[in-house]
Amino acid sequence: MAAHKTYFPNLDGLRFIAASLVIASHVHSGKLMLGMPAPGDPHHWTVLGHLGVMLFFSLSGFLITYLILEEEHKFGRIHVRYFEVRRILRIWPLYFLMVALSLFVIPRFSLLEVPDLPAIGQMSDPWGKLVLYVLFLPTLVHLIFSKVFYAMHLWSIGTEEHFYLIWPFLLRLFKRFRWQLMVGIFFSYAVIYRVLHTSLAADLPGIHLINPYWENFNIDVMAVGGLCAWLLFKRSPILKVLLDRRLCILVLIVVVFCMATGTQTAIMGYRTYSMLFGLLVLNLAANPWLGKVLEHPILRYLGRISYGLYIYHMVAVMATLNLAVHMGITSDLVTYPVVFALTIAMSALSYKYFESYFLRLKGRYRPHTLPSTPAKT
């Protein structure tokens, strides 16, 4: 009998919100790229998109850590091989499909042309680029080779894959010091970041590649999510404070206000956002009253296909905007809804006819309990 897995239904809706932030940000930047009217501060929209990715990271850190802890509790150990295979079945098919399409297919279509980025450049050095994609290093592709526009957003998938690769081993290695591990990662990430940007590191071989990789790794954000999962799983006494309804409402108000206004200061930087996101995810998981609206069947479905929304959305963005330019349509009331509708349609089809095959295979790679033996009479 397969192990029962805890499910947090309102976190599906939060996934969709995270994906929507990224999509909206890229619609805005796409309009600027094509010379279309794009109201709003470009920096604000860029920050909003990056915060959407950070929200994804926080969710991943929370969910993966909670499920690993739950599995360990039920079966006495962390089944690393099963864990890694399940992640492969979820992530790899769509990731490598998009890599292949971006390298060999998409640049050939005039509807998907990108200004100042000719198709021949995107399709050059395909095998060298492919090596980096196989190693889940999309961040480095455009630093070593030419840009592959429709795969540039895959940097976050590379980050998550590297996190999935090391996280179960770290949790197993630091079994008695897990919360210390996560707190240590949060603070040491910033220290390493600063060291890499000092004159001491300026002459390190490959520093021009190490810096962008570390900047995008964001394991500190996922560690915050993981710490919140650990606190919830262990039923830590500190939850009485962290799950207080007044604090929960305050965190929600602060997050919504700061994101809506594009607040990013020395105080409200990405690391502060990561802590707020961790608290938000924790409260949504543990406080059913807070996330009722996110449990709507439509939002839950959109959350389930959110991986596809993230992977495919740039195709929908550029196809819609290129067509809008051709037709003389610039209104946000048209472009944004069409982009979202097209992205959802592509993702729904992909989920049903492509991803679902691999998702069904995940059940083969879960720890199983032994059926009880009937007593002999």
Summarize pLDDT for 54-106 with one digit per residue, the tens.
Answer: 999 999 999 999 999 999 999 999 999 999 999 999 999 999 999 999 999 99
Domain total of the chain: 1
Backbone angles phi, psi at 202, to 5 degrees: -60, -30
In a domain, 157, yes or no: yes
SS3 118: coil
In a domain, 74, yes or no: yes
**CB-CB contact of 277 with 224 (8 Å):** yes
CB atoms within 10 A of CB 294: 20
In a domain, 121, yes or no: yes
For residue 220, what are the domain limits?
Answer: 10-365
Sort 225 into a burial class: Cβ within 10 Å, 0-12 / 13-18 / 19+: buried
Q: How many angstroms separate the CA atoms of 233 and 182, rounded?
A: 15
Mean pLDDT, rounded, of the chain: 90
Which pTM value belongs to this model? 0.92
- CA-nearest of 100, 219, 210 to 156 is 219
- How confident is the model at residue 371, as a pLDDT? 41
In a domain, 371, yes or no: no
SS3 77: coil
In a domain, 370, yes or no: no
In a domain, 194, yes or no: yes
SS3 248: helix
Residue for token pair 């995270």: 18
Q: What is the pLDDT of residues 97-130, one digit of tens each?
A: 999 999 999 988 999 999 888 777 778 888 999 9
Q: How many angstroms separate the CA atoms of 182 and 65, rounded?
A: 11
In a domain, 264, yes or no: yes
